[in-house]
Amino acid sequence: MDVESTGVSDRSTKPATAARIYDYFLDGVHNFPADREAAARVVAMMPSAPAMAKANRAFLRRAVRHLAEAGVRQFLDLGSGMPTQGSVHEIVQEVAPESRVVYVDIDPIAVSESLDLIGDTGRVTAIQGDMRQPRAVLDHPVVLKTLDFDQPVALLLCAVLHFVPDDDQAYGLVDQFRDALAPGSYVLVSHGANEGADASVTSEEHSTIQKVYNQRTATPAGGRTREGVARFFGPAELVDPGIVWVTQWRPQPDDPTDFADDPRLSCVWAGVGRLP
Ligand SMILES: C[S@@+](CC[C@H](N)C(=O)[O-])C[C@H]1O[C@@H](n2cnc3c(N)ncnc32)[C@H](O)[C@@H]1O
Average pLDDT, the chain: 90
Q: According to the model, what pLDDT value does residue 88 have?
A: 97
| CA 219–ligand 1 middle distance (angstroms) | 9
Q: According to the model, what pLDDT value does residue 131 have?
A: 98
Q: According to the model, what pLDDT value does residue 2 have?
A: 37
**How far apart (Å, rounded) are the C-alpha atoms in residues 230 and 52?**
20
Residue 202 has pLDDT above 70, yes or no: no
Q: According to the model, what pLDDT value does residue 196 have?
A: 55
Q: Is 105 in the pocket of ligand 1 (CB under 6 A)?
A: yes
* Domains of the chain as residue ranges with CATH: 3-274 (3.40.50.150)
Q: What amino acid is encoded at 145 in this protein?
A: K
137-189 confidence digits (pLDDT tens): 999 999 999 999 999 999 999 999 999 999 999 999 999 999 999 999 999 99
Q: According to the model, what pLDDT value does residue 3 have?
A: 37
| CA 44–ligand 1 middle distance (angstroms) | 22
Contact 105, 81 (CB under 8 A): yes
Lowest mean pLDDT among 6-20, 59-73, 130-144, 157-171: 6-20
Q: Is 80 in the pocket of ligand 1 (CB under 6 A)?
A: yes
| CA 4–ligand 1 middle distance (angstroms) | 22
| CA 88–ligand 1 middle distance (angstroms) | 14
**How far apart (Å, rounded) are the C-alpha atoms in residues 54 and 121?**
28
Mean pLDDT along residues 26-38: 93
Q: Is 198 in the pocket of ligand 1 (CB under 6 A)?
A: no
Q: Examine residue 256 and say whether the peptide bond preceding it is cis (omega within 30 degrees of 0).
A: no
Provide the β-strand partners of residue 76.
Answer: 102, 155
* Confidence at 97, pLDDT banded by 50, 70, 90: very high
Residue nearest to atom 26 of ligand 1 (CA): 19
- Ligand 1 pocket: which of 59, 87, 105 to mutate (most atoms <8 Å of CB)? 105
Q: Is 19 in the pocket of ligand 1 (CB under 6 A)?
A: yes
Lowest mean pLDDT among 72-76, 114-118, 131-135, 210-214: 210-214
Residue 200 has pLDDT above 80, yes or no: no
Q: In angstroms, what CA-CA distances link 214 with 125, 148, 176, 204, 222? A: 29, 36, 26, 15, 9
- Ligand 1 pocket: which of 17, 160, 174, 187 to mutate (most atoms <8 Å of CB)? 160
| CA 191–ligand 1 middle distance (angstroms) | 11
Residue 211 has pLDDT above 50, yes or no: yes
Contacts of residue 87, defined as CB under 8 A and 6 or more positions apart, other chains included, come to 117
Residue 4 has pLDDT above 50, yes or no: no
Residue nearest to atom 11 of ligand 1 (CA): 79
Higher pLDDT, 184 or 212: 184
> What percentage of the chain reaches a pLDDT higher than 90?
73
Higher pLDDT, 90 or 46: 90
Q: According to the model, what pLDDT value does residue 5 have?
A: 41
- Ligand 1 pocket: which of 22, 77, 187, 267 to mutate (most atoms <8 Å of CB)? 22
Mean pLDDT along residues 54-73: 98
Q: Is 106 in the pocket of ligand 1 (CB under 6 A)?
A: yes
Residue 236 has pLDDT above 50, yes or no: yes
- Ligand 1 pocket: which of 219, 246, 268, 269 to mutate (most atoms <8 Å of CB)? 219
